[in-house]
Structure 1
Amino acid sequence: MNAVDEERLCGRIAVRRHWVKLSDCTEPSELARRHVREFLKGRAAPERVDDAVLVASELVGNALRHTAGGPDCMSVEIYQDAAVLRVHDAGRDVSRVRVRSVGKSLDELTGNGLGLLLVEELAFEWSVGLTAIGKEVVVVLALGAGGLSERDALPHIPAVRPSLTAELHQLDDGH
């Protein structure tokens, strides 16, 4: 599907969409947190707004730490029961965007990998994929306090990366 068709499709599905440019910003994490909080306020349970703010902060912080140019932009899309956060940067190495081994102690993870463990815990689903000019991390979050069921998952959000739970089940079955 080309970008024009995708834009038309997403325009009909998303209830609301907000985009913010983060490049050339002196405090991109603060800008991302503020925009997510303002955009979701009144549209999501308060604890879910806090979760989304934390996820946005972690994703933008990771782009700042692990890419030469930092984050380019972020978008927030609101659907009936879910919000989708997308953080884009110019980096092309998707292999670096992964949760560190769960076998490591918390002390070993501090400062390196703890952020994506938080994202993994707070997100219904998340993935990373290449774009024409870099990569994009996509996180699906429930808007309601009760979470999101499997049947409510958004089929048009690509599951590029399997969940940590699925990876652990694969490891258990293999040994």
Structure 2
Amino acid sequence: MYWVALAGRHEPLAPARDQVRAVLAGVVPCVDDAVLVVSELVGNAVRHTTAGPDCLTIEINEDQVIVAVHDPEHDDGRVHVSESAADPLAESGRGLWLVQALARRWYVETTAVGKAVVAVLPRRKSAVSRAARF
């Protein structure tokens, strides 16, 4: 289990992406998917919570990678795939749709100090890398 502090950072997105890449590079093939998923989850925490993200956790199991972005606000049911995600002309709202497309599953978990938005990714070859070849 890897833990990355994000609380109080003016710009938490770059360090979160860098840490995911550093932890997973050379270990699992799904690095690009994990970086994209974490980017979306951290970005959502920055945009949709008052305090922003608190920390990021990364766990590597035999067949999956689990990433979770924690924040100090309790889940009030607002974490869901946007209705505008299906609109190809929408300028925002696709973050959780991408997470849902890349992850085996994602969910919101209540924690002692707020919530964590968790994504479970397969360790296999990255969908982002596969799409880039075409």
Q: How would you bin the TM-score normalised by the shorter chain? A: 0.7 to 0.9
* 2:124 paired residue number: 144
Q: Structure 2: where are the runs of 5+ without partners?
A: 128-134
Residues 103 and 37 (structure 1), Cα distance of their counterparts in 2 relative to 1, 3 Å cut? closer
SS in structure 2 of the partner of residue 68 of structure 1: coil
Larger radius of gyration: 1
Q: Structure 1: where are the runs of 5+ without partners?
A: 1-16, 148-175
In the superposition, the TM-score normalised over structure 1's length comes to 0.68
Mapped pair 1:89 → 2:71: yes
In the superposition, the TM-score normalised over structure 2's length comes to 0.88
Mapped pair 1:126 → 2:126: no
**Identical residues among aligned pairs (%):** 46
* 2:131 paired residue number: none
Mapped pair 1:21 → 2:5: yes
What letter matches 1:133 in structure 2? V
* 1:78 paired residue number: 60
* 2:46 paired residue number: 64
The two structures, once aligned, show a CA RMSD in angstroms of 1.8
Higher RCO by CA contacts (8 Å cutoff, separation 6 or greater): 2
SS in structure 2 of the partner of residue 121 of structure 1: helix
What letter matches 2:19 in structure 1? H
SS in structure 2 of the partner of residue 54 of structure 1: helix
Shift of 1:57: 0.6
**Counterparts of 1:91 and 1:103, CA distance in 2:** 24
Shift of 1:32: 0.5
